[in-house]
Structure 1
Amino acid sequence: MRAQNGLESFAHRCRVYYEDTDAGGVVYYVNYLKFMERARTERLRHLGFSQHQLAGQNLLFVVHSTEARYHAPARLDDELRVTAQVVEVNRASLRFVQQVWREQDATLLCEGQFLVAAVRADTFKPRAIPPALRDAFLAGGTGTQSNAGE
């Protein structure tokens, strides 16, 4: 599940708030998925695209499938670094490998893989990723390009 091309992935920093934790004072497992979603959104912004702009072009990204592994707990006030590396670009989908790290001690807390599909905003049917966005992801250090498996 780890990125195999050795390129530096995009990272988004965030902090654990009380609302992110469960009764035991640790981050509730589903909130790691939220942190990763935010990192993917910030990755788009970093490339010069916004969700609002893309929706205006009749394009939305939806999570098709995901898997996650949890290694250690994050706790209230921890500062996190959440990576978002695109390892595969298809005609109508992107595959991300993501990790959540605690900054203080560089501990890997969670890692996951996400297949994100491009769909039309009006019908939710698959659509091609616009060339400018594809080019931005390809220039941003992806692992592979493929036209299969969409």
Structure 2
Amino acid sequence: MTESTNLPFRFRFRVRYGECDAQSVVFNARYADYVDISVNEYIRVLFGDYQNLLNQDLDIQVVSLTVNYRAPARFDDVLEARIRAGRIGNTSFTVHLEFYRYGDGLLVAGADITYVLIQPSTMTKTPVPDAIRKTLEEGAPGVLLSHAGEQVQDR
């Protein structure tokens, strides 16, 4: 699962046919799904089961998502999301993602998503605890998680 600590956390997935539009490229709105899926895997690696946050009366809510498109991705491409923390404020934090096409390394899109940390019991925002801040700052360098099936399996 670990390849190189010089790279940020990486998550690979394959573009499915239903995610493409009439021009045979990934439909722009699908990138919000890609961000969500990728960040969920990142959060799982950083904090374990999402329930671990909820058990601390903590949750995250999206307040901003920006996507910048660079090149088309197509059906059956394997995309690699590279993820690292951006700004970590008092009650919010930003996660930066870059989506590369696996194989040729073409940058397909970049995204920034900002979350506010809340207490579900009161539905109010709350300061980012020091332990969570530290974990976000450290990230998960060198960790590679793949759902793409791009690796050849020994039989």
Q: TM-score, normalised by structure 1?
A: 0.80
Task: Give the root-mean-square deviation of aligned CA atoms.
Answer: 2.0
Matches within 5 A, 1:43-122: 43-122=42-121
Identical-pair percentage: 26
Contact 1:36/1:84 (8 A) holds in 2: no
What CA distance in whole angstroms lies between the structure 2 residues aligned with 1:123 and 1:23? 45
What CA distance in whole angstroms lies between the structure 1 residues aligned with 2:94 and 2:47? 19
C-alpha distance after superposition, 1:103-128 (max 9, x if no partner)? 12111111111211111223432112
- 1:138 — aligned with what? 137
Distance apart, 1:62 and its partner CA? 1.2
Unaligned runs of at least 5 residues, structure 2: 1-5, 141-155
C-alpha distance after superposition, 1:85-106 (max 9, x if no partner)? 1022222111121111111211
- 1:144 — aligned with what? none
What CA distance in whole angstroms lies between the structure 1 residues aligned with 2:17 and 2:43? 27
What CA distance in whole angstroms lies between the structure 2 residues aligned with 1:56 and 1:23? 44
Q: Indicate the structure whose relative CO is greater, using CA pairs within 8 Å and at least 6 residues apart.
A: 2
C-alpha distance after superposition, 1:20-62 (max 9, x if no partner)? 1123321111111211122211111222333222123221111
Distance apart, 1:139 and its partner CA? 2.6
- 1:4 — aligned with what? none
Contact 2:31/2:67 (8 A) holds in 1: no
Between stretches 72-81 and 8-17, larger displacement belongs to: 8-17
Equivalences, count? 136
Between stretches 24-33 and 41-50, larger displacement belongs to: 41-50
- 1:25 — aligned with what? 24
Contact 1:58/1:120 (8 A) holds in 2: yes
Q: 1:131 to 1:49 in 2, by over 3 A?
A: farther
Q: Which ranges of 4 or more aligned residues in structure 1 deviate by more than 6 Å?
A: none
Contact 1:39/1:82 (8 A) holds in 2: yes
Q: Which amino acid aligns with 1:85?
A: R
